Structure 1
Amino acid sequence: MFRFTSPPMPHYITSGEDVYPNGGSHAARSDIGVFDLLVTTRGCLFLEEDGLKLTIPAGHFAILRPDRPHRTAKPCSEETHFYWMHFQTLGPWNEVTEREPYEAPVHADPYMQIETFVFHVPRSGELAAKEMAYEWLEELLRLQAAAETGARFKQQGTFQQLLFQLQEEGSAAAKDPQLALADEAAAFLRRSYREQVSYKELAEQLHFHANYIALCMKKAFGCTPLDYLTRYRIEQAKQLLIHTADPVGSIAEATGFLTFSYFVRCFSKHAGTRPKEFRQRYRR
């Protein structure tokens, strides 16, 4: 599967459709510089990408890498209709065999509150909602030929819908129960950051032993539940220090810290400066 880090989101470039007769072959290409999504609606494509065999029967899809050669593994055995679409990303991506831990980067500028995330798209597979995918691919072709204002903008929206469907199918096929539990634990901690959350309460909420939850979060985020909660509280405190005139002590209490001294210690460790100096840097 492919692992994309966003933002930025992958973007649509161009698309088309083609019909190969019985005995038809896909062109051999090398390092085309864009991802190539192929969706077969009738017949079957037989491709090979750098030694990897990809069979794409009707109702299935495959994504070819931008940095490897691909060619026909064997000619079509019947008339074959397919859509093709090129897309690319300006963000990091890689190919993985399983879902990997991800830790969002810490921005030095607190105004840059851009929450990065990863999502996984399978290399190939069967479309669960075939007709919907075909409609989106047809819409992309219509918009490509349209002269209307906003057609290019609409193309990107349609592409994101298709991409979301593909990554949802990948989630259903490759969902790691440990990462799913870690996501659930993280969501609970974000909702409850103003309150005092114990490992016992976390275990009761998620119906798993606290040690197992900690193991899952370590795998997903590279930290324990307590570390995750502390980091999230610090990020909320940064926003209050910048955007309000509330006393630092009140901010410590509002973000779930039991004592002022502990808040200052945690803040200094994670932000590299004390709360007062941090506020002075961004508020004149």
Structure 2
Amino acid sequence: MFRFTSPPMPHYITSGQDVYPAGERHADRSGIGVFDLLVTTRGCLYLEEDGRELNVPAGGFTILRPDRSHRTAKPCEEETHFHWLHFQTLGSWSEVTEREPYAGPALSMPYMQIETFVFHVPRSGELPAKETTYERLEELLRLKAAADTGARFKQQGIFQQLLYRLQEEGGTAAKDAQLALADEAAAFLRRNYREPISYKELSEQLHFHPNYIALCMKKAFGCTPLDYLTRYRIEQEKQLLIHTGEPFGAIAEATGFVTFSYFVRCFGKHTGTRPKAFRQRFRT
């Protein structure tokens, strides 16, 4: 599967469709510099990318890498219709065998201006909603004929919807019980960050041993539940320090810190500055 870091989101470049009669071969290409999404509606494409077999039957899809060579493994056995779509990303990406924990970039600014995230898209598979996908691909072709900015904007929106559905098709997060539990734990911590939360309470809420919950969160987020909670509280504190004039003690209490000294210590550890200096930097 592919692992994309966003923003920026991958962007649509162009698309088209082809019909190959029986015996036709897909063009051999190397390092074309864009991702090539192929969606077959009838027949089957038999491809190979650097020795890896990638068959695309009707109702299926595959994504070819921008930096690899691909060729026809064997000609089409019957008339084959398919859509092709080129896209690229200005963000980082990689090919992975399983979902990996995400560690955010080191920030030079203590106030996070852009929140980055990762998502995973399978290399190939069966389309989750075939007819809807075909309709969106057809709509991209209709918009391609229009030269106005509005049409280009709509193309990007349709492409993002397609990408989201392909991500769903992979179903990796849903099929991985550990990642699902980590998401559930994270949601509970975000909802209740203002209150004191113990590992025992987290265990009772989720009905799993705290050690197992910690293992799952390390796999998904690269940190323990306590670290996740502290980081989330710090981000809420940053918002309050910048957007309100509330006293530091009130902010510490509002974000779930038991004592003011612990609040100051955690804030300094995660931001490299004290709450007062942080507020002065962003408020006049």
Trace 1:158-177 onto structure 2 (pairs within 5 A).
158-171=158-171, 175-177=175-177
Q: What residue is the counterpart of 2:197 in the other structure? A: 197
**What amino acid is aligned across from residue 4 of structure 1 in structure 2?**
F
Residue-pair matches, total: 284
Q: What residue is the counterpart of 2:238 in the other structure? A: 238
Q: What displacement does 1:200 show?
A: 1.4
Q: Distance in 1 between matches of 2:174 and 2:87?
A: 23
Trace 1:83-94 onto structure 2 (pairs within 5 A).
83-94=83-94
Q: What displacement does 1:106 show?
A: 4.6
1:115–1:101 distance in 2 versus 1, CA, 3 Å:
same
The normalised TM-score by structure 2 is 0.97
Q: What residue is the counterpart of 1:61 in the other structure? A: 61
8 A contact 1:99–1:176 mirrored in 2 = no
Q: What displacement does 1:175 show?
A: 3.1
8 A contact 2:174–2:180 mirrored in 1 = no
| Structure 1 residue 34 corresponds to structure 2 residue 34 | yes
8 A contact 1:7–1:117 mirrored in 2 = yes
RMSD after superposition: 1.3
Which runs of 5 or more residues in structure 1 are unaligned? none
8 A contact 1:39–1:59 mirrored in 2 = yes
Q: Distance in 2 between matches of 1:219 and 1:164?
A: 23
**Corresponding residue SS for 1:23:** coil
Give identity over the alignment, percent.
81
Q: Distance in 2 between matches of 1:62 and 1:90?
A: 21
Q: What residue is the counterpart of 2:186 in the other structure? A: 186
My pick for the range that moved more, 255-264 or 177-186, is 177-186
1:45–1:118 distance in 2 versus 1, CA, 3 Å:
same
The normalised TM-score by structure 1 is 0.97
Q: Deviations over 1:121-170 (max 9, x none)?
A: 11000112100000000000000012455000000001011111100011
**Corresponding residue SS for 1:109:** coil
Q: Distance in 2 between matches of 1:215 and 1:257?
A: 24
Q: Distance in 2 between matches of 1:49 and 1:222?
A: 33
Q: What displacement does 1:198 show?
A: 1.2
**What amino acid is aligned across from residue 227 of structure 1 in structure 2?**
D
| Structure 1 residue 81 corresponds to structure 2 residue 81 | yes
